Structure 1
Amino acid sequence: MNLFGGTISKLENGLSYATLKNKAITQNIANVDTPNYKTKEVSFQDIFNEAKESSISANRTDARHYDFSIEIGTSGVYSNENFRTRPNGNAVNMDAEQAKLAENTIYYNALIERLNSKFSTLNTVVKGGR
C-alpha cells in the first residue's frame, strides 16, 4: 500500500540524503586539525545519477504480479583532493562547514515537519476526523 502517493517514501529518501550529508560534514569538522585530511562532500546529483542507473525492477507479465525493485548504489560521498588551504595539507574550512551544517539542518527539519504533517493527516483519518 502506497500511502499519500509515495510522498512518505520520497521524504524518507530525502532524510537519508540529509543524514549522509550531515555525517560527512561532521567528519570534516571533527578532522579540522588532522594533517592532510581532505574534506568529504555528498553530491545529490551523483546519488541521483547512481539511483537511475543502479536499480533492478521485476519483469511483470501479469497485472496481478507484485512490482518490486532493488536499489544498488554507493554511498555518494567523495573527497575533495584538489583543495589545500593550510600548510599541513588540511583542506577543512571551518566557516564553510558550519554554514553547510546549518543549511543541512534546516533542510532536515523541513523534511521532518512535512513528514509529521503527513502522519498527522493519517492520524486524523484513522480517528474519523476528530
Structure 2
Amino acid sequence: MSNNIANLNTPGYKSKRVIFEEKLKNIMDNSSISLKTTNKNHINDGNSMQNINPQTLQDKSKSLRLDGNNVDIDLEMANLAANQILYNALVSQANSRIAMRRAVINGK
C-alpha cells in the first residue's frame, strides 16, 4: 500500500497488492502443534511459518488517467485506515493479555 501511495504520481505505474493472509490462515488452521526445527536434518511437519511466501500481484487494469497510472488514492487510504484499525486492535489485545499475566504473577 505505501508503495502505491508513494508512486501515486509516477506515470505508467500499476498498483500492487501483497497476498499472504490466505496462506497464513491455511497454515494456522491446519496445524495443531507446529514443530520447530533448528537444524536442516530435523523432521519438519510442513506447516512452518517459514513456508509462507507472500505473493505480489500487479493490477494491470486500465487507468482512468492519461499517464497510465492506475493507483486509486481513495482505495489506498481506506486500506491503510483498515490496517491501522486492525493493528491497534491487535496491540490492545496483546497489552491486555500481558496485563492479565502480570496481575496473575503479582497476585493482584
Q: TM-score, normalised by structure 2?
A: 0.70
In the alignment, which residue of structure 1 is the partner of 2:87? Answer: 108
* Cα distance in 1 for residues equivalent to 2:71 and 2:94: 33
| Gap runs ≥5 in structure 2 | 36-43
Deviations 1:82-119 (A, max 9, x none): 24231211110111111111111111101111111111
Q: CA deviation at 1:47?
A: 4.8
Matched length: 93
Q: 1:119 aligns with which of 95, 98, 103?
A: 98
Sequence identity of aligned pairs in percent?
Answer: 34
What RMSD in Å do the two structures reach over aligned CA positions?
Answer: 2.6
- Are 2:5 and 1:26 aligned? no
Aligned residue for 1:21? none
Name which of 18, 21, 32 aligns with 1:42: 18
Q: CA deviation at 1:42?
A: 3.1
Unaligned runs of 5+ in 1: 1-24, 59-66
One-letter identity of the residue aligned with 2:101: L
SS in 2 for 1:103: helix
| 1:120–1:41 distance in 2 versus 1, CA, 3 Å | same
> What TM-score comes out, normalization by structure 1 length?
0.60
In 1: Cα distance, 2:91 partner to 2:78 partner: 20
Report the CA distance shift for 1:75/1:35 in structure 2 as closer, same or farther (over 3 A): same
Change (3 A) 1:113 1:86: same
